[in-house]
Amino acid sequence: MPDTEPKTSTILVMTAGGPIPSLVVNALSRRFSDVQVAMEAAEPKSVIYRRRARRFGHLQASGQLATMIAARLLRKLAAGRSAEIIATTGLEPTLPAATPVHPLPSINDPACQALVARLQPAVVLLVSTRIMSRQTLSSVSCPVINLHAGINPAYRGQMGAYWSLVRGDAGNFGATLHLVDAGTDTGATLHDVRTKPARGDFISTYPLVVSAAALPAVLQSVEDALAGTLRPATPEGPSGLCFPPPIWTWLWHGLTRGVW
């Protein structure tokens, strides 16, 4: 990454919304003056299911979808623990009222490319979005950084923090800040942050735990991008792509090993 300062200071956060992106935007807004949000619509479950069914078959895809639905439903049971985690950040889990929000069908829609062309951001930060397409990525001239709730390269994809515990690899329970390339969480690493889950954490709270721990690294990555001083490093070690466990796998590990 060349050591040249960007011409603008706009930070564009791309997200599908939720508490984690809101914490990130609040943290950024406390330090930087021009933070804007590109808010994409949630991807329909039917689209996710068809994509998984093509890759894994209908049985496995159905089991994964059931786990995703269960995790979402269980967020209500995790509300107390989530509030504790959020309180440790000193931030709000809702977007600041003064932050400009630009609704989009998807970060891969032409409207997103038009928004980037208009705003000319100094850095784009992805937090809980679809995978950025090659076409969209090629249209962005500034650094594109992703906050990934897993340690790369071993836990790329989804629910990496969960899988680190299932595999007895608690030392890699954490999050990664990395540059975005054409692969799935395969870009060069900027920072990785490891932490530990508390007794009451489970599949619905793991992403919040690791993302909250990574907030200082988020700020540092954005600050380095604005200053033109990013120092990306090639991720080392075995690489693995994670997906949500089918519900029977999730229940098995929960009942036999206490990893929920």
Contacts by 213-216, CB closer than 8 A, 24 or more apart:
213/174, 213/175, 214/147, 214/174, 214/175, 214/176, 214/177, 215/23, 215/24, 215/27, 215/89, 215/91
* Regions in the chain scoring below 70 on pLDDT: 1-7
Give me the residue spans of the domains in the chain. Answer: 11-257
In this predicted structure, what is the pLDDT of residue 76? 78
In this predicted structure, what is the pLDDT of residue 75? 77
- Name every residue whose Cβ is closer than 8 Å to that of residue 233 and which is 6 or more positions away in sequence: 188, 189, 190
In this predicted structure, what is the pLDDT of residue 7? 59
> How far apart are alpha carbons 195 and 88 in whole angstroms?
14
SS3 assignment, position 187: coil
In this predicted structure, what is the pLDDT of residue 69? 86
User: Which top CATH class is 11-257?
Assistant: alpha beta
H/E element, 255? helix 247-257
> How far apart are alpha carbons 214 and 193 in whole angstroms?
6
Q: At what angle do helices 215-227 and 19-31 cross, to 10 degrees?
A: 50
